[in-house]
Amino acid sequence: MKTKMTLILFTVCSFFITGCNDDDEVQPQPTVQVDLIQTEFPEAKQEVIETWNAIEQSLRDGDMDKLIAFHGYSTKFTEFKNGEAVNDAAANEAYERGAFGAVTEVVKFDAINLKVAVYGDVANLTFQSDFHLKFGEDLVVINEQTTLLFVRTDGGWKIVHEHHSPWNQ
């Protein structure tokens, strides 16, 4: 009887052992590759355009804190303008608060040939500016080519790089 019970127990255990194999492990799902260059990302593109519109509105409202909040300032932030050396986050914030904080009226704020290109969580916005800003009685016209590099964050799209060059119309 002991031999028979041992044989039955051995047979049952062997079924369990042979039934367990590596195929039962969870296999990772294949990663779907997105072509970051060719894919348009229309929803993200619209978000960047809405961010740009909110940037314009903060300038019209004279809300410098809101304008500054659209920037992703860090040690990685860079800005080029007027053919000068690169600026960092602190220099950009000081300039924007000083210059745009003194605007008394936005007469014209045209972003000509505005283009948004999204590459997943990174986007660039390019345009030629035709901005007419009043500083008291003085009218200043800003005509330049601009690129703003945005990164998607939990707090929305943030500017992490600015490049401004003269625009010879």
Question: How confident is the model over 37-94, as pLDDT tens digits?
Answer: 999 999 999 999 999 999 999 999 999 999 999 999 999 999 999 889 999 999 999 9
Query: Rg (Cα) of the chain, in Å, rounded?
Result: 29
Q: What's the pTM value of the predicted model, to 2 decimals?
A: 0.81
pLDDT at 7: 47
User: Could you confirm whether domain 42-166 is CATH 3.10.450.50?
Assistant: yes
**Assigned token pair, 119:** 């590459």
Quick one: average pLDDT of 9-32? 62
pLDDT at 11: 55
pLDDT at 31: 85
Q: By three-state DSSP, how is residue 93 classified?
A: helix
pLDDT at 28: 81
* Cβ atoms within 10 Å, residue 125: 23
**Assigned token pair, 158:** 């943030």
How far, in Å, CA of 136 to CA of 126, rounded?
Answer: 29
pLDDT at 126: 98
* Cβ atoms within 10 Å, residue 2: 6
Q: pLDDT: is 20 or 158 the higher one?
A: 158
**Assigned token pair, 44:** 């993200």
pLDDT at 128: 98
Backbone angles phi, psi at 46, to 5 degrees: -65, -40
30: confidence class by pLDDT, cuts 50, 70, 90: confident
85 vs 3, 44, 91, 143, 160, CA distance in Å?
90, 32, 11, 20, 17
Interval 111-154: pLDDT, tens: 999 999 999 999 999 999 999 999 999 999 999 999 999 999 99
**Assigned token pair, 73:** 């300032």
Contacts of 117 (CB under 8 A, 6+ apart): 123, 124, 126
Q: By three-state DSSP, how is residue 128 classified?
A: strand
